[in-house]
Amino acid sequence: MNLIIEERGTFISLKSERLQFRVEGQPLREVALRDLETLSIVSSAVSISVKAIRACAKFGVQIDLLDGLGDPYAKITSPYLVGTVTTRRAQMLAYTTPKGLEVARHAVRARLRNQVNLLRYFGKYRREADPAAYAAIEEALPLLQTLEAELDAIQAPNVDAARDLLLSVEGRGGVVYWGAIAALLPQDLNFPGRLGRGATDPVNACLNYGYGILYSQASGALSTAGLEPFAGFLHTDRPGKPSLVLDFVEGFRAAVVDRAIIATLGRGWRPEFENGKLEPSSRKRLAEAVLNRLDARDTHKGKRFRLKSIMVAQARSLALFLRDEGDYPIYVASW
């Protein structure tokens, strides 16, 4: 279970092996720690006891602190649940070798393939229902596939020497993909194209909030696999920037967040804003959509797993790849 707490005045305490959530004027709520995987706190007006934090660490429950835009700014987890020093040493050494370039190439390839499959998913029933959207998808698919061929042609001794080329492929893919998504979205949303942090239009505000939740999940998976979330390959290092998280989620953005948000908006729901930000009930609705998608099952390596479990498996595969102990296959969501 993944819980998101955003109601002001909530106090989280421990009773036996259960977390208790108290809000004045509301019934007491309890959740067993054994049933909990992550606890995300969005409001700054939420309190949690030290005993509750210690119990979460003992049971392996990750505590994420997010701002009102959904961006994680802190994480509380047990230092004993992360992997070995060997993995992090291999991660650092790989940066200057062809192996680091392959991790960066993997991120762009995974993004392109999942963008292709999400467009196929949304296009399945639109040939007659929405011919214009279907035509936009059909035009985008070969362009994205051509970019993957261009990705294969990039040769360099390390990722620093190839980063501009990799980001060029990723950026051009984004233009094609979001152009097709614009054709899918209802016109009343007035989607201006993909915009990052600080965007105030409904689509981008929802996407940015959803990505924040995804970043928290990915950071936990990478840390548990023994990897350093702030030492990436495709994305450059900068203080406070979890560059490996940004690399890693490229293969999950479309499958998890884009699919959940576009479907929710397509069914007629619209977010509400308060002082230029998503108001609490809208954030709750978005969080539920993304977390439900993470709980959905998909096929990976011939078996059915929840998407959050696939994310954990991919983090472990990346650690094995960096240690020269295994492959790092690309996860492509079914459509």
At 66 the pLDDT is 86
The token duo for 168 is: 């060029």
Tens of pLDDT, residues 78-137: 776 655 789 999 999 999 999 999 999 999 999 999 999 999 999 998 888 899 999 999
- Sequence-distant (6+) residues with CB within 8 A of 279 are 271, 272, 273
Question: Coil, helix or strand for 31?
Answer: strand
At 71 the pLDDT is 77
What residue numbers bound the domain in which 288 lies? 85-322
Q: Does residue 106 fall inside a structural domain?
A: yes
**158 and 270 share one domain:** yes
**177 and 101 share one domain:** yes
At 80 the pLDDT is 65
Question: Coil, helix or strand for 154?
Answer: coil
How many CB atoms within 10 Å of residue 276? 9
At 2 the pLDDT is 78
At 81 the pLDDT is 60
Residue ranges, the chain, pLDDT below 50: none
At 67 the pLDDT is 82
User: The CATH number of the domain where 235 resides is what?
Assistant: 1.20.120.920
**191 and 253 share one domain:** yes
- Residues 42 and 53: their CA atoms lie apart, in Å, by 16
The token duo for 250 is: 């490229």
Q: Does residue 228 fall inside a structural domain?
A: yes
- Residues 174 and 123: their CA atoms lie apart, in Å, by 18
**144 and 248 share one domain:** yes
Residue among 122, 111, 145 at smallest CA distance from 248 = 111
Q: What value, to the nearest 5°, has the Cα angle with vertex 136 and ends 130 and 137? A: 90
- Residues 270 and 276: their CA atoms lie apart, in Å, by 15
**196 and 105 share one domain:** yes
Question: Coil, helix or strand for 299?
Answer: strand
Q: Does residue 327 fall inside a structural domain?
A: no
**41 and 124 share one domain:** no
Beta partners for residue 299, in sequence order: 304
**38 and 89 share one domain:** no
Residue among 107, 91, 71 at smallest CA distance from 248 = 107
- Residues 266 and 264: their CA atoms lie apart, in Å, by 5
Q: Does residue 316 fall inside a structural domain?
A: yes
**48 and 97 share one domain:** no
Q: Does residue 47 fall inside a structural domain?
A: yes
Residue among 47, 40, 64, 49 at smallest CA distance from 18 = 49
**177 and 276 share one domain:** yes
Tens of pLDDT, residues 201-214: 999 999 999 999 99
- Point out the domain boundary residue: 37, 66, 95: 66
At 265 the pLDDT is 96
Q: Does residue 328 fall inside a structural domain?
A: no
User: The CATH number of the domain where 7 resides is what?
Assistant: 3.100.10.20
Q: What is the pTM of this model?
A: 0.83
Domain count, the chain: 2
Question: Helices (H) and strands (E) in the chain — how many of each?
Answer: 11, 12
